[in-house]
Structure 1
């Protein structure tokens, strides 16, 4: 039979054992994160967010079109391309023309094909570049070439076969396909409308235009906010519409713990927290909101006011939502692709877990003792 003193000793042993054990939790606490700072021989810079930090870190990767795209003028649908087949009629103002048959006033040149280099051959006019010109411009060129051979020639040029200038549109649009460049869709926004508009949310739609070896990217909404980037299209352009692939990871005492895609073009810390259901009011420490990222050398030096850093730096940004301007700083602090947003548990939560573990373990021990006393 156990004495009361023995049971008290056993209870104290249980308390010590539970206190020494690692209790379940979602991640490190504030003290452990701060202990990993470079200032304490750790491997990351731990920085409290203030107005200077929000400005220094408000760096959004630049996207846009190269100058060659923005400076291109509008084209028509009737641009002649290599492989097109043309028909030309040449009217001459003389009875004995150089091209017309005896007794005829016009010469009909059917099925003149544009070669792979973009040229055609016209008797007495020579080899003429047709690709890149409209039929009207080619008519003027042929007329000028023949004018030295026959007086006041009249030339008609028409396309017999060929697609003309076209653009392919794929990805998140209602109607993927190859579309001719026509008057209503000679710009990027017009072509997207021709393809039926977007099939993905416009807030996260990213538009890429591939032209030869060059590529440019813009956000869909910027096409309407900044009309100057609504570029003119060129034959062979490939337009890709895709959903934004950026995401951050939410961990700790929040409504969810998962990888979270961006829902808007720009995302602040307060929006990121709200996107996963906000802080868990029963667990979260509003003084312990951390944003972890690998920061570029340039930004890290701006944040820390140093010039001796080399390469990317591990940064841990600390937000205290209980400060008078804490919510404003969280609203202004930009979240970037690949960030980890982590919220620590409030200190009392660990105490509560400890007490629950102690009382639960002590209750189990007491039951065992009573069972032993009854034997």
Structure 2
């Protein structure tokens, strides 16, 4: 009987050691499913734990979009023929005499290059005087100069050209091929044309954002949307500041995933299944595919819709549960939208924690010598 009693004693001692180790808090990646559910509102916690289904994916599918306001979209393109303060003009005057007012002897044409319109909108032309240019077209300025010179030289012929100047210019900054100040000219009246003129973007177009600052207003659009949807293009205005920047949205991956890190979005939209793939998938030897959680602060309007309520106010802590083992679990994860600031957490499988307990006792799953020795020591056998 003594050997039997000794074996029973060893077994009880071994279970005691296992219980002690399990309660001591073995290393793990984070809370298990039971602990997460314990923090739910239903159990006097402060977060709503929701199993994701088709209803939930539809309710949370609203993703903030970018676009320009009406004031941006309805602004007409600048006419390239309207002269503004700061513009530069090119003038050529032909005179019907050998020795004219402006031309040298033997020449009947005079070229005045880079005549800049001053801050008050005027230009000075010899023998024609100070002429109002801003607000006029090159044709109107041509007529004014012609009339002023007609009394001093017979049948003058005048040509006025609008050159590139800073009267209507925009600045481009950020991840663009050529940063700098560019004039708004006939080929570059729109945002897309100006970006092309500056060499396009130098980052992945999938995550490139275009921000336009005009006075006290700001508009933003995805670079890809700008080129795929011409109706989203806008006309530029002098003084516009155009900034090309990379998407700064990110989510955090924790738990039994291939990589635990803060991950930036690789596309305009990101689903749960894509986020899992982006971090290297689930850890094959440790993860629990029934315990994939997405945690976020949800707006009251969305939270009410998800929960079928109408009394919630303010942002709500939501814990969405994805079970990839369900028949349509992969499809639901594919339809579930990840948002900026989300935390993706995957729990460890129960076996993993048991494995750690056994490993702590024996050093490996294939040897129980140490456990037997520990039980013998406890029983004094």
The runs of 5 or more residues in structure 1 that have no matched partner are 92-107, 147-152
The match for 1:251 is 254
- Aligned-residue offset at 1:15: 3.0
Aligned length in residues: 359
Residues 78 and 164 in structure 1, CA contact (< 8 A), matched pair in contact too = no
Bigger mean CA offset, 157-166 vs 64-73: 157-166
TM-score by length of structure 1 reads 0.80
Q: 1:64 aligns with which of 53, 62, 67?
A: 67
Q: 2:25 aligns with which of 22, 28, 36?
A: 22
| SS of the residue 1:221 aligns to | helix
TM-score by length of structure 2 reads 0.79
Bigger mean CA offset, 317-326 vs 351-360: 351-360
Query: Once the two structures are superposed, what CA deviation does each residue of 1:276-307 show, in whole Å capped at 9, x if it has no partner?
Result: 11111111111111110011121111111211
2:337, 2:176 → 1: CA distance?
29
- Aligned-residue offset at 1:14: 2.5
1:343, 1:172 → 2: CA distance?
35
1:282, 1:111 → 2: CA distance?
73
The match for 1:289 is 292
Query: Once the two structures are superposed, what CA deviation does each residue of 1:309-333 show, in whole Å capped at 9, x if it has no partner?
Result: 1111111111111111111111111
Q: 2:352 aligns with which of 349, 354, 358?
A: 349
Residues 207 and 247 in structure 2, CA contact (< 8 A), matched pair in contact too = yes
- Aligned-residue offset at 1:129: 6.6
Tell me whether 1:45 sits opposite 2:63 in the alignment.
no
Tell me whether 1:82 sits opposite 2:124 in the alignment.
no
Tell me whether 1:131 sits opposite 2:134 in the alignment.
yes
Residues 92 and 160 in structure 2, CA contact (< 8 A), matched pair in contact too = yes
Q: 1:332 aligns with which of 335, 338, 358?
A: 335
Task: List aligned pairs for 1:174-323, cutoff 5 A.
Answer: 174-323=177-326
The runs of 5 or more residues in structure 2 that have no matched partner are 95-110, 149-155
2:33, 2:22 → 1: CA distance?
19
Q: 1:33 aligns with which of 26, 29, 36?
A: 36
1:304, 1:138 → 2: CA distance?
69
Q: 1:166 aligns with which of 131, 150, 169?
A: 169
Bigger mean CA offset, 59-68 vs 33-42: 59-68
| SS of the residue 1:65 aligns to | coil
Gap change, CA 1:364 and 1:203, over 3 Å in 2: same
Considering only aligned residues, what root-mean-square deviation do their CA atoms show, in Å?
4.1
Task: List aligned pairs for 1:113-152, cutoff 5 A.
Answer: 114-118=117-121, 130-136=133-139, 138-139=141-142, 142=144
- Aligned-residue offset at 1:249: 0.2
Gap change, CA 1:59 and 1:69, over 3 Å in 2: same
| SS of the residue 2:337 aligns to | coil
- Aligned-residue offset at 1:76: 5.0
- Aligned-residue offset at 1:224: 2.1
Query: Once the two structures are superposed, what CA deviation does each residue of 1:188-212 show, in whole Å capped at 9, x if it has no partner?
Result: 2221121112210011000111122
- Aligned-residue offset at 1:52: 1.5
1:34, 1:369 → 2: CA distance?
36
Bigger mean CA offset, 262-271 vs 320-329: 320-329
- Aligned-residue offset at 1:31: 1.0
2:71, 2:346 → 1: CA distance?
46
Residues 79 and 164 in structure 1, CA contact (< 8 A), matched pair in contact too = no
2:227, 2:65 → 1: CA distance?
18
Gap change, CA 1:305 and 1:126, over 3 Å in 2: farther
